[in-house]
Chain A
Amino acid sequence: MSSIEADILRDTPDATVPKRGRVRPAQLVLWALVLALCVVPFLLVVVISFGEKVEGAAWVFGFTGENYLRFFVGASWPETSTTLYLNRLYYSVYYAVIASLVAVLTAFPFTYFMTRMSRAAQSRWLVFLLATLSLSEVFIVMGWDILLSNRSGLPMVLREIGVTDWLKGNGGFDLLREWGMANPRDIKFKTSEFATVLTMSYLVWPYAVILLYPALSRLDQSTVEAARTMGAGPWRVVQTVVLPTVRLPLIGTLFLLFVFLLGTYVSVTVFAEPAKQTLAISVYESVRGSTLNAPFGAAQSVILLVTGGLCLWLGQVLVNKQEARA
């Protein structure tokens, strides 16, 4: 190669090799959008959580840990202390765990059988489930509110068909009272943990089906049949073949629904009794409600977020441990 050719080759830009360090304008815009829409609001919440409320006014930026302290021990500590907010955090996690478990446990068999249906039937179900996603939380909660209302809902039906009296006769009614699902005269679902979890599960159930569907529809049916020919009954097949094969999507779905449900607002407002309400309600009360304490609301949000992250991490550790043991 002559020196002229070498010079030409050196000076000709190679379109196929992207140059390191060069950032295209489109990339810059994308990064700016991510920063503005995702990172900045979150950072703002963190910054505000260290701010101070000004009595009779709004709040000012600052750097105080009082909001976090208040969360754990209450505003009048050290004179008195309260676990009110910790209790609300507990119920946030409790409802989210139970409701996501209920949703996944009920959606799993449904989705499994759905994937065994004809393609046309599967399409119809998927379209129907996707359509239900268009319903807002308010609309769904309104529906359940009517269904579970004491005068015109399920308690009335149970009373009219004699189930309530039958339960009173065999001691089942007392059990329901212990569970907070009956008043001295009648079965009641509002307010109760049952109704709260039921509505929350219902809210995320279509998501559970849609998230589980790809994994279950890809499940090689011949592995199920192979297990059957090797002596595994239906439950053993699910236990030893189906569940381990879709383990990751299953755990992923559970985690996703859990995170989604941590922030549920309307269902909890309507169905949970005041003593068992969640941090989402408390955050709203602080930011927009009667107390108007944005820094404290922000601190609660950060704690809810960190708790969600910790729960996911803990879940992952438990799964890994179980895997290592197996």
Chain B
Amino acid sequence: MDNLTLHKIRKDYGKVRAVEGVDLTFAHGELTALLGPSGCGKTTLLRMVAGLEDPSAGKITLGARDLTHMAAHKRKFGMVFQSFALFPHLNVRENVCYALTIAGMAKAQAHEKAAKLLDLVQLSSFADRSIGALSGGQRQRVAIARALAQEPEVFLLDEPMSALDANLREAMQVELRMLQQRLGITTIVVTHDQREAMTMADNIVVMSNGAVEQSGPPQDIYHKPRNAFVADFIGRANFFDGVVAGGKIISGGLSLEAGGVQYVDGSAVTVAIRPEQPMLAERIPAQNEVPAEVTFVRDVGATRDIHLSTALGPLIVEYALGEHARTFRVGDKITAQLPAGALYVFPAEQRRKSA
């Protein structure tokens, strides 16, 4: 079982560099999400893997095979496009059979295989329907079945959920993940939705400005962001600026402990903390106490967002609602505790660059 590897991949469009120096390995059978804001190069990278774009430099290999300049029709990686790209002149079955027909498979055999695939995506009864008569979710399933028909070694999906409404998107994320796990196929999904990436992927590759910012399992990306961009892009984060002095962070006249600060004294830093990390309960060991005033309270289902004004700047704290939950009112004077281990410290210029 071969891993797909990208070695120092670069892509230039004239003077514009879309992708720069990407080194990645996609382990066999794993689902990897390429995540990043619009224009970060994730779709370009996927298209290079598919063979729809030629890299300006670098190498793409699948096991020992060099695919770098192999034409898309010779790679035969199954791909689901953002628009699904179903053929309007063919019905559902014919769409699914397309790759098989191209490969020269007998009609009866192709139909048999298409029936199995349509069963897999729960569309057996829609085989004779025209594409125009399908809903968005059904079209997506047809696109998936069609891409899987040729039994690709690598399965590529370019923002497959973007055309679906919120409810359907959630359901399809689960279905797609289950299907991928059942088939054990190496899968790469491009998305700009971090929630989608977190819920579906074994690994996430966060990209920005054509480069990989961080890659790893979703929990690592969330809890150990390598830089301010990742901390900002994955989940929510509060940011404040400070200066390192004696292993502590000085900000807003407060001296804060931050686990393992590796900066020389006088370094300007940006500190990030997830909204669920600060503690507002009263009976806790005092650490990094920050006096605050409640400026706004917003219920968001199981949690409540408490907006605070502090000497560090504005903070949002995600407060879990429960039986003994405190009630906060605008104007309340409280103290927020910022656990030292929950503070992520980055060089200040990094945040400015990613902003």
Contacts and interface: CB of A to CB of B under 8 A. Distances in A.
B150 A225 contact: no
Interface in A221-266: 222-223, 225-233, 236, 240-241, 244-245, 247
A109 to B, nearest CB: 19
B85 A236 contact: no
Q: Give the size range of A's interface with the partner.
A: 10 to 19
A236 B104 CA distance: 12
Nearest to A243: B89
A154 B150 CA distance: 53
B76 interface: yes
Given A222-B82, A244-B89, A227 B52 contact: no
B146 A247 contact: no
Contact of B102 (A220, A222, A236, A245): A236
Contacts, number: 76
A228 B85 CA distance: 12
Contact of A230 (B83, B88, B146): B146
A223 B85 contact: yes
Contacts of A226: 79, 81, 85-87, 146
A222 B73 CA distance: 14
A240 B82 CA distance: 21
B218 interface: no
A247 B90 CA distance: 13
A247 B72 CA distance: 25
Interface in B94-138: 98-99, 102-103
B72 A225 contact: yes
Interface residues of B, number: 30
A231 B150 contact: yes
Interface in B63-87: 71-79, 81-83, 85-87
A220 B89 contact: no
Interface hub of B51, B75, B81 (most chain A Cβ within 10 A): B81
Contacts of A244: 87, 89-90
Given A244-B89, A245-B88, A247-B89, A230 B82 contact: no
A222 B98 contact: no
A220 B85 contact: yes
Contact of B81 (A222, A233, A247): A222
Given A229-B73, A232-B73, A222 B85 contact: yes
Q: Which DSSP category, helix, strand, loop or mixed, fits chain B's interface? A: loop
B50 interface: yes
Contacts of A233: 71, 73
A118 to B, nearest CB: 12
A223 B86 CA distance: 6
A236 B73 CA distance: 10
B81 A245 contact: no
B89 A225 contact: no
Contacts of B150: 230-231
Nearest to A224: B85
B72 A220 contact: no
B98 A227 contact: yes
B102 A228 contact: no
Interface in A201-236: 220, 222-223, 225-233, 236
Interface hub of A220, A230, A240, A247 (most chain B Cβ within 10 A): A230
Given A229-B78, A230-B98, A245-B87, 10 more contacts: A222-B81, A225-B79, A226-B87, A228-B72, A229-B50, A229-B51, A229-B76, A229-B79, A232-B102, A244-B87
25 contacts: A222-B81, A223-B88, A225-B50, A225-B52, A226-B81, A226-B146, A227-B87, A229-B51, A229-B73, A229-B76, A229-B79, A229-B156, A230-B98, A230-B146, A230-B147, A231-B73, A231-B99, A232-B73, A233-B71, A233-B73, A236-B73, A236-B102, A240-B98, A245-B88, A245-B89
